Structure 1
């Protein structure tokens, strides 16, 4: 049997806490139906008997205080809502306990942007972490020593599990069930809760917004120029010339502030434009690709698949009207 502690963090998403509790306790029911013993003992633990969530909209009643738990096999860190730096501060009293438990062999399961709290414990130092695509830039700015992963939905290393994407935590729970028990039980949970087990990447869901939370006027102007003229045949040399800087210097500066090389930024902007057309329009894929400045359809398909994990046709089938 494994003892699981779901943390009742301040600002935790109530649906996330409840889903974890329901799925893991339901696994016990599946086992009992098969004539087997329960596997999970699930506790919801906090700093006091009740914790207010979502600015007082919900109140959760805990089943234990964290300081009364001397050992637990698994800690689940739920999604937290609101301003991340403030949320980390409000939950600072949990940090030492989580560190101590991990040091004694406890597994840590972090759900989506619960990774902000996990990173604040220092346990992700120089480790991989999957982060929701919309929070990636803010996470990287707060925790530059953490290796952010965006090409996989789940990371698993040294007893720490993370996932990117809001409801992808359901996939992480299935992953944990399979690891603790077996594939058969994970598949059964997938069927009973109707969770798609095939998801492995955030890429199809990402909306490229660029990284503009900086004060470099030249880089911002280059970003805006690319976004306003994406349908043209843009070159790195022309972008650098407009900025009035040498290519090597400006490329280094651009990548440091945006997280993308100039070529990558141009590609991502073009891909985003194509995605919108595929979602809403009736033009052929070839027409759309030519309109964003590509003459080589196959080359664009490779770029599109690298960014989204799907071919343009697969993307249209998935998201088109």
Structure 2
């Protein structure tokens, strides 16, 4: 469509989009349709931009069956091409080694798995778009539209990106996926005291819980407990407590007409400024803005 927009403005089309495969065999997608590559990685050509799509399935298996792409992607990048990954396509991009020491984004649901598999990458989990040295990443699911609009502006201009955003009804300049995150404490680990501490926090979030209280309760030294908790959950103990409380507050804001103060007290906060500051830090929105966006009962048609 960008090419069509350019032609309508009396300009030459800019983009030539082709599908590249490891070989020429068509790939069947979940028994629904076949994808026919235009080129293979064995063909001799240079590209300006590689877009790695989102992927499905077990991460390790997906990474393995796509392993032949990684040297080709590296070669294209080092020859001046740029690389973009959409959603969990970041797992494939990280497998090339190109994300070492660089900021990246992926779907919020895959955050813990990504951190475990690629600790050398700098995952900015709340971001919708990252852009570092010709390497782009997008957040989860439909965030890929925002990355495409962003790239379109870099390759053309602001006017064309706005036109595309209006045509496809995309909310332009959206930077955070924080408001979409549904916190589910990472429990796929083998540290039993940490798992019990998580369960305690989730069952008692209405109370004031301290790190010392938890370390005493589970008979683990504070420094050791904090280190183990962070390693197992990708959150500090304080962050975990805050996220559990704010997740409970979000559900109240989505489904009830309780006022902000009532909800604040119910999730264990007594300081309204502290509650609002933590809520904004985690969701990127104020409690009122969050309610206005997600509570259907509060909407007037």
TM range (shorter): over 0.9
In structure 1, the gaps of 5 or more residues are 1-25
Q: State which of 237, 242, 250 in structure 1 corresponds to 2:217.
A: 242
Is 1:120 the equivalent of 2:98? no
Pairwise CA RMSD of aligned residues? 1.2
Q: How far apart, CA to CA, are the structure 2 residues paired with 1:257 and 1:247?
A: 15
Please report the TM-score for the alignment, with normalisation by the length of structure 2: 0.95
Give the structure 1 partner of residue 249 of structure 2: 274
Give the structure 1 partner of residue 73 of structure 2: 98
Q: State which of 100, 121, 136 in structure 2 corresponds to 1:161.
A: 136
Mapping of residues 215-254 of structure 1, within 5 Å: 215-254=190-229
Q: State which of 162, 166, 169 in structure 2 corresponds to 1:194.
A: 169
Q: How far apart, CA to CA, are the structure 2 residues paired with 1:84 and 1:143?
A: 12
Give the structure 2 partner of residue 77 of structure 1: 52
Q: How far apart, CA to CA, are the structure 1 residues paired with 2:106 and 2:112?
A: 10
Using the TM superposition, give the Cα deviation of residue 55 of structure 1 relative to its aligned residue in structure 2, in angstroms: 3.2
Using the TM superposition, give the Cα deviation of residue 285 of structure 1 relative to its aligned residue in structure 2, in angstroms: 1.3
Using the TM superposition, give the Cα deviation of residue 66 of structure 1 relative to its aligned residue in structure 2, in angstroms: 2.6
Q: State which of 113, 133, 155 in structure 1 corresponds to 2:108.
A: 133
Q: State which of 172, 175, 199 in structure 1 corresponds to 2:150.
A: 175
Q: State which of 223, 237, 255 in structure 2 corresponds to 1:262.
A: 237
Q: State which of 276, 280, 286 in structure 2 corresponds to 1:305.
A: 280
Q: State which of 260, 269, 279 in structure 2 corresponds to 1:285.
A: 260
Give the structure 1 partner of residue 187 of structure 2: 212
Q: 8 Å contact 1:150–1:201 — kept in the other structure? A: no
Give the structure 2 partner of residue 52 of structure 1: 27
Q: How far apart, CA to CA, are the structure 1 residues paired with 2:113 and 2:179?
A: 21
Using the TM superposition, give the Cα deviation of residue 50 of structure 1 relative to its aligned residue in structure 2, in angstroms: 4.2
Deviations 1:187-217 (A, max 9, x none): 0110111111131101000011112111101
Q: 8 Å contact 2:29–2:35 — kept in the other structure? A: no
Q: 8 Å contact 1:50–1:59 — kept in the other structure? A: no
Deviations 1:31-87 (A, max 9, x none): 111111111111112133343243333211222223214211111101111111111
Using the TM superposition, give the Cα deviation of residue 274 of structure 1 relative to its aligned residue in structure 2, in angstroms: 0.5
Q: How far apart, CA to CA, are the structure 2 residues paired with 1:128 and 1:72?
A: 23
Cα gap change, 1:69/1:197 in structure 2, threshold over 3 Å: closer, same or farther? farther
Give the structure 1 partner of residue 37 of structure 2: 62
Q: Secondary structure at the match of 2:16?
A: strand
Q: How far apart, CA to CA, are the structure 1 residues paired with 2:221 and 2:40?
A: 59
Q: How far apart, CA to CA, are the structure 1 residues paired with 2:151 and 2:181?
A: 25
Q: How far apart, CA to CA, are the structure 2 residues paired with 1:252 and 1:82?
A: 31
Question: Where is the strand percentage greater, Structure 1 or Structure 2?
Answer: 1
Q: How far apart, CA to CA, are the structure 2 residues paired with 1:218 and 1:39?
A: 57
Deviations 1:142-196 (A, max 9, x none): 1111111123211111110011111101100000010111100100110111111
Q: 8 Å contact 1:54–1:81 — kept in the other structure? A: no
Q: How far apart, CA to CA, are the structure 2 residues paired with 1:53 and 1:158?
A: 34
